[in-house]
Amino acid sequence: MAILRILEFPDPRLRKKAVPVEAVDDSLRQLIDDMFETMYEAPGIGLAATQVDVHRRLLIADVSQEKNEPHVLINPEILGQEGSEVTEEGCLSVPGYYEEIERAERIKVRYLDRDGNEQESEFEGLLAVCVQHEVDHLQGRLFIDYLSEVKRQRIRKRLAKDRRQHQESAAIL
Ligand code: ZN
């Protein structure tokens, strides 16, 4: 297993649209294992392939406290949604930012599991929010796209400044 590098906003590769996975094989399962290791280590509760620069329709999630309820969704398709709820979201690709975002409370999704079998599941609560957030990533969309342009610019500048400071301190060492 390996820890993968997570792309960070405003990296243009986060804007790429993922294409469908064609074969659920061992190399895909290797990627899935690496994504879980990366997500648990970060730590995060969801990760889309787009975030690790693989532009295939694949996402993983685990919203459990014990990190023992892994979900793998390949070629996910949201078939229906119900209700709405507001959740404070963050994103491994936009580190340090949390914003309240409104999404559907329950969703019905069709996808392939890690064995390539077709599944249809209903998700609710945090898991539903997480899957919607990750499906957005696969479409090149970030949670901060729901915010105003002014707010997004502020986040972009702040992250660029944080990165410069890291580079400066790295040079000193
Ligand atoms: Zn995210």
Distance of CA 118 to the CA centre of its chain: 21
Amino acid sitting at position 45: I
Q: How confident is the model at residue 168 (pLDDT cuts 50, 70, 90)?
A: confident
Query: What is the 135 CA–ligand 1 centroid distance (Å)?
Result: 9
Q: Assign 16 to helix, strand or coil.
A: coil
CB environment 122-156: b (16+ within 10 A), e (fewer): ebeeebbbbbbbbbbbbebbbbbebbeeeebeebe
Query: What is the 50 CA–ligand 1 centroid distance (Å)?
Result: 10
Confidence check: pLDDT of 171 > 90: no
Where helices occur in 16-173 by DSSP H, the ranges are 26-41, 125-138, 149-172
Query: What is the 92 CA–ligand 1 centroid distance (Å)?
Result: 6
Summarised one tens digit per residue, pLDDT across range 69-88 is: 999 999 999 999 999 999 99
Distance of CA 98 to the CA centre of its chain: 14
Summarised one tens digit per residue, pLDDT across range 9-29 is: 999 999 999 999 999 999 999
What's the confidence (pLDDT) of residue 81? 97
Distance CA 47, CA 129 (A): 13
Q: Assign 77 to helix, strand or coil.
A: strand
Summarised one tens digit per residue, pLDDT across range 53-69 is: 999 999 999 999 999 99
Summarised one tens digit per residue, pLDDT across range 146-155 is: 999 999 999 9
Query: What is the 138 CA–ligand 1 centroid distance (Å)?
Result: 10
| Positions marked catalytic | 134
Average pLDDT, rounded, for the chain: 95
If phi > 0 it is left, if psi is from -120 to 50 it is alpha, else beta; for residue 4 that is: beta
Q: Assign 55 to helix, strand or coil.
A: coil
